[in-house]
Amino acid sequence: MAKWGKCDFKQLERLNKNMEKLMGADLDRFCRQAAQDLAGRLLNKVVKRTPVVYGTLRDAWAVMPVGHRGTHYTVVVLNNLQYASYVEYGHRQQPGRFIPGYWESDRFVYDPDAEGGMVLKKNWVKGRYMLTISTQELEQQAPKILEKKLYLFLKGCFDA
């Protein structure tokens, strides 16, 4: 009879063992942590871009818990102040309208009982797009961030 030779299966057995470790790994926790990390980065970007007068708008940004439906993980970054959308996207105003109040250094303070005030001149106030620009930036950076996280996760499964 012919001799077929020897075959060393140690590496295949080690690969099988590592694959079993990977199957036992908590992928849901990894995905939730990655989504939470991206949400934190987005929150930092948005807060830095938010204009500050009194700080209320900047302080109102929040991140909701990570949601999971099917194969998708979602995180909501929101600002529930009534005027947040007007600052984000801009708003219309009526030129010629009188607004009662007074000037305090370089800022106008609304006071309905004031004798003086100002007259609106423009019919549109431009938006600041804090969330829109921050989301676009993060969408460009996300693949690299997730690639690094996935590399470290797989390295932990295969090198341990």
Count Cβ atoms below 10 Å from residue 90 Cβ, excluding itself. Answer: 13
CA dihedral 147, 151, 157, 158 (to 10 degrees): 140
Q: Which whole number is the average pLDDT over 45-69?
A: 95
**Tell me: the pLDDT tens digits for 82-133?**
999 999 999 999 999 999 999 998 889 999 999 999 999 999 999 999 999 9
Q: How confident is the model at residue 64 (pLDDT cuts 50, 70, 90)?
A: very high
Would you state the pLDDT for residue 50? 97
Q: Which whole number is the average pLDDT over 24-53?
A: 92
Q: How confident is the model at residue 34 (pLDDT cuts 50, 70, 90)?
A: very high
What is the rounded CA–CA span in Å between residue 28 and residue 15? 23
Is the pLDDT confidence value at 27 over 80? yes
Count Cβ atoms below 10 Å from residue 84 Cβ, excluding itself. Answer: 18
| pTM across the whole model | 0.82
Maximal CA-CA distance, the chain? 112
Would you state the pLDDT for residue 2? 63
**Tell me: the pLDDT tens digits for 146-158?**
999 999 988 887 7
Is the pLDDT confidence value at 71 over 70? yes
Q: Which whole number is the average pLDDT over 23-27?
A: 73
Given a contact cutoff of 8 angstroms between Cβ atoms, the answer to whether 22 and 150 are in contact is: no
Is the pLDDT confidence value at 142 over 70? yes
